[in-house]
Chains A and B, each alone.
Chain A
Amino acid sequence: MSTTTFGGVPADEPTAATEPSYLTSENTIASWLFTRDHKRIALLFFASVTFFFFVGGAAATLMRLNLAAPEGLLQPAVYNRMFTMHGIIMVWFFLIPSIPTTFGNFFIPMMIGARDLAFPRVNLLSWYVFNLSGLVVLFSLIMGGADTGWTFYVPLSTVYANGYVLAAALAVFINGFSSIMTALNFVVTIHKMRAPGMTWMRLPLFVWGIYAVSVVMLTATPVLAMDTFLLAVERFIGIGLFDVRHGADAILWQHMFWFYSHPAVYIMILPSMGVASEIIPVYARRPIFGYAGMTIALMSIAILSFFVWAHHMFVAGISIYSGVFFSLMTFFVAVPSAIKVFNWTVSLHKGRISFDAPMLYALGFVLLFTLGGVTGLMLATLAVDVDLHGTYFVIAHFHYIMVGATVSAFFGALHYWWPKMTGRLYPEMWARSAAILMYVGFNLTFFPQFVLGYLGMPRRSYTYPPEWQSWNLLSSAGASILAIAYLLPLLYLGWSIFWGRKAGPNPWRASGLEWATPSPPPKHNFEETPVVALGPYSYDPENDTFIDQEGVLHAR
Chain B
Amino acid sequence: MPADTELMPEMQYATLAQQGETAQFGMWVFLTQETIFFGALIFTYFLYRTTYPHEFAAAAKDAVLWCGTLNFVILVTSSLTMVLAINAAAQDVRPNRMVRWLIMTVVLGCLFLVVKGYEYYLDFQDKVVPVVAFEVKPGEGSAGVLFWVFYWVATGLHAIHLTIGIGLVLYMLLWRIRRGEISPAYYAPLEVVGIYWSFVDTVWLFLYPCIYLVGRS
Contact = CB atoms under 8 A, between A and B. Distances in A.
Question: Are A and B in direct contact (Cβ within 8 Å)?
Answer: yes
Interface of A: 109, 114-120, 180, 184, 187-188, 191-193, 218-219, 221-223, 225-227, 229-230, 233, 237-241, 243, 245-249, 252, 256, 259, 524, 529
B37 A188 contact: no
A259 B44 CA distance: 14
Contacts of A119: 26
A116 B36 contact: no
A337 B157 CA distance: 39
A188 B25 contact: yes
Contact of A249 (B10, B18, B40, B47): B47
A188 B29 contact: yes
B149 A225 contact: no
17 contacts: A115-B12, A116-B12, A117-B12, A119-B26, A191-B25, A219-B32, A219-B33, A222-B33, A222-B40, A226-B40, A229-B157, A233-B153, A237-B132, A241-B153, A248-B146, A252-B47, A524-B11
Contacts of B92: none
Given A184-B33, A221-B33, A226-B41, A239 B130 contact: yes
B212 interface: no
A237 B32 contact: no
Nearest to A217: B33
Most A C-beta atoms less than 10 A away, residue of B25, B30, B37: B37
A191 to B, nearest CB: 7
A248 B40 contact: no
Interface string B1-28: 0000000001111100010011001100
Given A241-B149, A247-B51, A193 B37 contact: no
Contacts of A193: 12-13, 22
A238 B149 CA distance: 11
Contacts of A259: 40
A284 to B, nearest CB: 34
B145 interface: yes
Contacts of A118: 12, 22, 26
B142 interface: yes
Contacts of A191: 25
Contacts of A227: 40
> Which 9 pairs between the two chains have the least Cβ-Cβ distance?
A222-B37, A116-B12, A247-B143, A226-B40, A222-B36, A115-B12, A223-B40, A192-B22, A246-B142
A256 B36 CA distance: 12
Contacts of A233: 149, 153
Contacts of A247: 48, 51-52, 55, 141-143, 146
B12 A230 contact: no
B37 A230 contact: no
A240 B37 CA distance: 18
A259 B43 CA distance: 13
Nearest to A529: B14
B135 interface: no
A114 B13 CA distance: 9
Contacts of A188: 22, 25-26, 29
Given A246-B142, A247-B141, A524-B11, 7 more contacts: A116-B12, A118-B22, A120-B12, A221-B33, A229-B153, A230-B44, A243-B146
Given A114-B12, A218-B33, A249-B47, A237 B26 contact: no
B72 interface: no
A256 B12 contact: no
A266 to B, nearest CB: 17
A109 B10 CA distance: 15
